[in-house]
Amino acid sequence: MKIAELSRFRSQKQVSETLAALAAGTIDIVIGTHRVLQQDVEFKNLGLVIIDEEHRFGVRQKERFKALRAEVDVLTLTATPIPRTLGMALEGLREFSVIATAPQRRLAIKTFVARHSKGLIREAVLRELKRGGQVYFLHNDIDTIVQIEEDLTRLVPEARIRIAHGQMRERELEMAMRDFYQQRFNILLCTTIIETGIDVPTANTIVINRADKFGLAQLHQLRGRVGRSHHQAYAYLLLPDEGNITSQAKKRLEAIQQMDELGAGFFLAMHDLEIRGAGEMLGESQSGEMQEVGFNLYCTMLEAAVRSLKEGREPDLSAPLGITTEINLHAPALLPDAYCNDIHERLVLYKRLANCDNAGELDAMHEELIDRFGTLPPHAKTLLESHRLRVLGKPLGIARIDASEAGVQLQFIPNPPLDAARVMQLIQRNKHYRLAGQDRLRVSADLHEVGERVTRVKQIFSELAG
């Protein structure tokens, strides 16, 4: 098996040879940076793309791989999935798995959020140096990084400091990282170039200047540069000493400080999804909120569309939520105040009942209500029976059920999934059945009690289904 590398650390001759071998198909695996996305890179038979640290890539860059061939398998590896990817996984568009087991002897990183303070910086750095460790000091502004170096030299004269950032020459940057790994100096003043792929076991303290400027996933990745051995690691997230930070930055910092246990990346990604929104499934926005319909309703609509496609049907864009059966039993159907006196809890129960899609889920809700609040009163029984009729009527294409003392009237959706011949036979054989329009079926009966109406509707459903 032949493996090659594509990055700016390779010479032009090596890059040219690798590109020619890729086009000819003589290289089995190529490991590269964003360089593999450029237009001069051609694959003879690309079958698998593994994307490590997905948040470093945009949507267009990831779609570029898929455009190379009609069928390309994509495996994404990341400690903190971006909102768009996590949203797609939770909604069934992508498969995902979580590895939450930390390496042996690994300790959780202690995280502190504080205002910028010279005393705090000196204390944090000296604590690490006195135990023979090394420190990352992250300042993500190349224009002022030299000034920060001078300030650190005056603040901690005991330290040996070097700078590393992305605008340095390849060899100079490589030498700086080599020297840091070999402990020739003990403070690396750097930008976010260390965000991924850096593994220095002796560096166990990181100080991040202006932490409010970073995203949640980015903060988690930067924090993960320390604590890569069995030593206790520390992360200091510094805020400006004057002025307020944005509300979203405050939420991010609260989340990163609270979730400092091992394996917290997935839960941080969930917080990121809540803060930033899930983005566009079919567009290029990797975050954003569905303000027109709300996130819950959007997910419900998307789930219905995905289910239709998996069943081999074209999603109905005119009715994205599918069939919604309206039921009128001419009787109160609700959870009375005396039965459940918390209005918020009642609203939650109404929502959960509306989300039940089969009889088993309704039976479970019935048992839960009895267990929590006692025997159902008549109005609550009517509510539960209404949802049972909704579940039974949906496969028959019934849009509306009106059951009164005089009988039952059913209204169907356009082109309902019913045998028209069976319906006509029912009308011909039973004098109580008659059509009340192109999409309505009327069944006459004396139904004075709610229980009689529910039973009669179920009998009609059984006759229609055959």
DSSP string, 144-201: GHHHHHHHHHHH-TTS-EEEE-TTS-HHHHHHHHHHHHTTS-SEEEE-GGGSSS---T
The pLDDT value given to residue 91: 67
Are residues 235 and 346 part of one domain?
Answer: no
In a domain, 80, yes or no: no
**102/150: higher pLDDT:** 150
pLDDT in tens, 183-209: 999 999 999 999 877 889 999 999 999
Domain that holds residue 444: 326-465
Q: What is the CATH number of the domain that holds 251?
A: 3.40.50.300
**53/110: higher pLDDT:** 110
Domain boundary among 230, 247, 262: 262
The pLDDT value given to residue 386: 94
Are residues 361 and 220 part of one domain?
Answer: no
In a domain, 184, yes or no: yes
Are residues 331 and 215 part of one domain?
Answer: no
Identify the band that residue 294 occupies on the pLDDT scale cut at 50, 70 and 90: low
**402/315: higher pLDDT:** 402
Are residues 441 and 357 part of one domain?
Answer: yes
The pLDDT value given to residue 288: 57
DSSP string, 336-401: -TTT---HHHHHHHHHHHHT--SHHHHHHHHHHHHHHH-SPPHHHHHHHHHHHHHHHHGGGTEEEE
Of 4-18, 57-71, 306-320, which gets the smallest average pLDDT? 57-71
Strands (E), 58-106: 73-77
Are residues 333 and 258 part of one domain?
Answer: no
Look at residues 324, 309, 326, 341 and name the one whose alpha carbon lies nearest to residue 401. 326
Residue 1 has pLDDT above 70, yes or no: yes
In a domain, 115, yes or no: yes
Distance CA 300, CA 274 (A): 16
Could you tell me the two tokens for 45?
Answer: 């038979």
Are residues 456 and 339 part of one domain?
Answer: yes
Residue 443 has pLDDT above 70, yes or no: yes
Residue 404 backbone phi and psi in degrees, to 5 = -125, -170
Residue 329 has pLDDT above 90, yes or no: yes
Domain boundary among 262, 287, 308: 262
Average pLDDT of the chain, as a whole number: 85
Number of structural domains (the chain) is 2
Identify the band that residue 65 occupies on the pLDDT scale cut at 50, 70 and 90: low
**134/431: higher pLDDT:** 134
Distance CA 181, CA 132 (A): 13
The pLDDT value given to residue 320: 59
Residue 106 has pLDDT above 80, yes or no: yes
**209/301: higher pLDDT:** 209
- Which residues, listed in sequence order, are joined to residue 434 by a DSSP beta bridge? 442
Are residues 457 and 335 part of one domain?
Answer: yes
Of 211-215, 271-275, 349-353, 369-373, which gets the smallest average pLDDT? 271-275
Residue 318 has pLDDT above 80, yes or no: no
In a domain, 161, yes or no: yes
In a domain, 442, yes or no: yes
Residue 53 has pLDDT above 80, yes or no: no
Residue 14 has pLDDT above 60, yes or no: yes
Averaged pLDDT, 381-385: 94
Are residues 379 and 253 part of one domain?
Answer: no
In a domain, 349, yes or no: yes
Averaged pLDDT, 452-464: 91
Alpha helices in 229-342, H assignment, sequence order: 247-258, 265-276, 295-310
The pLDDT value given to residue 218: 84
Identify the band that residue 181 occupies on the pLDDT scale cut at 50, 70 and 90: very high
Residue 292 has pLDDT above 60, yes or no: no
Are residues 247 and 150 part of one domain?
Answer: yes
In a domain, 188, yes or no: yes
Are residues 193 and 337 part of one domain?
Answer: no
DSSP 37: G
Measured at the CA of 106, the angle between CA 100 and CA 111, to 5 degrees, comes to 85
In a domain, 312, yes or no: no
Are residues 338 and 220 part of one domain?
Answer: no
Domain boundary among 262, 290, 312: 262
The pLDDT value given to residue 317: 66
Are residues 331 and 229 part of one domain?
Answer: no
Identify the band that residue 313 occupies on the pLDDT scale cut at 50, 70 and 90: confident
Q: What is the CATH number of the domain that holds 369?
A: 3.90.1150.50
pLDDT in tens, 242-281: 767 888 888 888 888 887 777 677 777 777 776 666 666 5
Judged on CB neighbours under 10 Å (0-12, 13-18, 19+), 451 is middle
Of 227-231, 321-325, 426-430, which gets the smallest average pLDDT? 321-325
